Structure 1
């Protein structure tokens, strides 16, 4: 065991322990590996870099408190929003490592507030993208377990191109208004297992990504399991995309609770991204006080090209390698209460319908005092209030034993849909009965 105090770290002193922590990691590395031990107390530090076969263990009462000075996070080559570039070093950084762990019941505090304020008010002062709290690139056999992660300057846990990643019993706490402070964002990873976590953040709780059209290497994010987690206040509880150019596939999400997240399960992309989201299974979920529980949106407009005509145009375009595709997505045994905008929003492209979707044993209750809101981000989409499922450009969609309660308008509104089947579904409105289903064909406006 390599105790950082033995290498000169001073607890509760305000003196940076960066060099002492680096020395302890180096000593462990020279010994072929071992545990770098952080005892009880608060230790101020700048960016630290892990080595292979190292366990960074924080004892109860230990706090790694990260500096707020940009110079303490020198530029490293990594990836930000799908594109390789220089970024401020993550607070805890590892590249091309094997067998690394961050464990213990201590706290890792990113002290993100100065970074958030600079992002909001003086973005020109940021030479590089803000640090992530834990950023790992090209690593294998990674474990993050039991720690409390808080106040991340930007994304909290961001493995990129990693394999065999386990994140278990981790709490992530970032203020609800903190910008871009996603919880766990695996990018182009294989074999990621997220379990027993509590995530309360200012952006997406979990976002699964696979690069953009500007990413040189198209590497999938695949074989992901998410189970037994609680998620609060994020823009989305579990989000797939919009960075999906390398494909996202083989994902299971089960036994989770979402509360006051804007969206529940959200999948988003747009023309030009390419890639496929497929073979996704979501089951045994409870949601409370969300804007929209389910969104599949191929007209997502955020990003530098989001306002271009090809992104929002409802006319069909030729299908190419840059046409995104959502297919084989299955939802089962889900309850959502106090839903505000819509029970679900599924909208494919005119040339590439969202397809092979099933909802089984799903119970949605709209909020009695619903607040109008956009179910997702799409040009021309008006705010909704208490609507049922809103479907556009979909094919082969099945609803089995689905109930929508207290909705306004039809429980299922289907615009330009094909092969949509309802079995044992019902509208449950006691005050103002509404029809179960409405089908319409809408011709796109030429422009």
Structure 2
């Protein structure tokens, strides 16, 4: 990281300025109900504007960074949930400037959590404040440990129309304690995530900064109509499993204009683990990733899998920038996963300092237990990459399918990878089939099938792109 400090700093500053420009700088007065913005108001995006508002301080919140606000958050959400029914107009909980220490708490429906630009929600360092919850049924166990898992800092289940947003305020998981215990094998349960919303419809996370998550940052699971927009995610690049955004068994997801520095994949699309994911049978599909900037020296910019046993299909990624990351696009699967990764379309990537531009593997052997079906062979097909420029690359691609079940219908077009050092074999290919055109260095033989010079990219509009977020105005009285 040190050798890239200056360019990374510039990229980060530019991205943060762009994000800050989409939210107002100051919150000055409190009001009830939506109205046209006037001086002193903040704007935020939401599926619908809220009719009722309250501040965390109304429920005893203390923003000194040391007082626990777990009870205050729970009391506030419980009180505001009375407006979550039809006709109630929904409610907003305003988090003022300050440092608000808390354990995990859940959100409610027709609800907005709004953070002032100088608000910081801090994850409690008292592990007793983190309830233990059941493992996800599509995983059969926790990812770190067999059995249950710690709750996520901000969570919710069976919700409709829930928003986490603000004037680029911060949610800080204070993950160093968790990372240390993980490395020392001192955890009894799987680490919680920063944000996890389950079994929900219409979820928006926008214009917030997430830092130092114990593990994954944003984890929508078994949900639909999810928008993650204008979010900054930061974690030390050596921190374990601090994935950025992980849609998991989700449909109709839009990820755009996000900046991520991570100790793991910046975006990882998942759908359950081996026999548990096969039994649950809920795919991730119709997912759009746009204008993503990523730094992840040990992992992928965009990963599909390795837990993909419910299937992954129709993923569209475009206008992706990455610096100092392990691989641009990585597909991870294994015998025992079953299901499929198909119809993946990627275009317009700008990559610098990469280990691999593309990486596919059918030999990712991480399993939840020894009960997986050795005959559950995953299908990987119809994968398209085009319009990619990569510099300072170690190897152009590492593509390793499954013997007897090759990854097929791979299309690569208009791709240039400039190698950091001369390589006798810039491509590694086994058990893959496909076509290519305009690719430098020349791809391996199994990908040299000819075609018309362009790879497919869908032209239809997905329903998630028709989800319109309203401009809502909000203000609070000066303290």
Q: Place the TM-score, normalised by the shorter chain, in its bin.
A: 0.7 to 0.9
Out of 237, 240, 243, which is 1:176 matched to? 237
Please state whether the residue corresponding to 2:214 is helix, strand or coil: coil
Higher mean alpha-carbon deviation, 296-305 vs 153-162, is at 296-305
For 1:390, the equivalent position in structure 2 comes to 428
Q: 1:13 and 1:201, CA in 2 relative to 1: closer, same or farther beyond 3 A?
A: closer
Instruction: Choose which of 241, 257, 277 in structure 2 pairs with 1:196.
Output: 257
> Contact 2:140 / 2:368 at 8 angstroms: preserved in 1?
no
**Unpaired stretches in structure 1, ≥5 consecutive residues:** 312-319, 371-384, 405-410, 426-447
Partner of 1:223: 286
Q: Which runs of 5+ in 2 are unaligned?
A: 1-52, 85-89, 142-146, 455-479
Residues 324, 352 of structure 2: 8 Å contact kept: yes
C-alpha deviation, 1:421, in angstroms: 3.7
Aligned to 1:119: 182
Give the 3-state SS of the residue equivalent to 2:205 in structure 1.
Answer: strand
Deviation at 1:350, TM superposition (A): 1.8
Residues in 2 aligned to 1:34 and 1:391: alpha-carbon distance in whole angstroms: 54
CA distance in 2, matches of 1:418, 1:143: 40
Shift of 1:27: 1.3
Query: Match for 2:382 among 325, 328, 335?
Result: 328
- Cα distance in 2 between the residues matched to 1:358 and 1:26: 52
Give the alignment of 1:28-427 within 5 angstroms: 28-32=80-84, 33-79=90-136, 82-83=139-140, 86-104=148-166, 105-121=168-184, 123=185, 125-215=186-276, 216-234=279-297, 235-303=299-367, 320=375, 322-340=376-394, 342-368=395-421, 387-395=425-433, 397-404=434-441, 411-414=442-445, 417=446, 420-421=449-450
Q: Does 1:27 align with 2:72?
A: no
CA distance in 2, matches of 1:388, 1:422: 22
In 2, Cα distance between equivalents of 1:171 and 1:241: 23
Query: Is contact 2:65-2:122 (8 Å) kept?
Result: no
Matched-pair contact (CA < 8 Å) for 1:3–1:37: yes
> Which string of whole-angstrom CA distances, capped at 9 and with x for unpartnered residues, describes residues 169-213 of structure 1?
000001001011111111100011000000101011110001122
With a CA cutoff of 8 Å and minimum separation of 6, indicate the structure with the bigger relative contact order.
2
How much does 1:304 deviate?
Answer: 5.6
CA contact (8 A) 1:288 1:337 kept: yes
Q: Is contact 2:389–2:415 with CA below 8 Å preserved after alignment?
A: yes
* Residue number in structure 2 paired with 1:314: none
Indicate the structure with greater helix content.
2
- Tell me how far apart the structure 2 counterparts of residues 293 and 25 of structure 1 sit (CA, whole Å): 45
- Count of residues in Structure 1 that have an aligned counterpart in Structure 2: 387
> CA offsets per residue over residues 228-281 of structure 1, 9 Å max, x none?
110002511100011111110000010010111111100011111111110110
What CA distance in whole angstroms lies between the structure 2 residues aligned with 1:3 and 1:150? 23
**Residue 18 of structure 1 pairs with residue 75 of structure 2:** no
Give the TM-score normalised by structure 1: 0.82
> How far does residue 332 in structure 1 lie from its aligned partner after superposition?
0.8
Whole-angstrom CA distance in 1 between matches of 2:79 and 2:136:
29
Per-residue CA deviations over 1:213-233 (Å, capped at 9, x if unaligned) read 231301100000000110002
Give the 3 Å change call, closer, same or farther, for CA 292–250 of structure 1 in structure 2. same
CA contact (8 A) 2:77 2:93 kept: yes
Q: Distance in 2 between matches of 1:421 and 1:70?
A: 58
Retained in 2: the 8 A contact 1:281–1:329? yes
Post-superposition offset of 1:119: 0.4
What is the alpha-carbon distance in structure 2 between the residues aligned to residue 194 and residue 134 of structure 1? Answer: 15
Alpha-carbon separation, structure 2, partners of 1:219 and 1:304: 18
- Give the 3 Å change call, closer, same or farther, for CA 189–220 of structure 1 in structure 2: same
User: In structure 1, the residue corresponding to 2:413 is in which secondary structure?
Assistant: strand
Q: 1:13, 1:270 → 2: CA distance?
A: 45
Equivalent residue of 2:274, what SS?
coil
8 Å contact kept, 1:343–1:387: no
Q: What CA distance in whole angstroms lies between the structure 2 residues aligned with 1:48 and 1:304? A: 28
The Cα shift of 1:413 comes to: 3.5
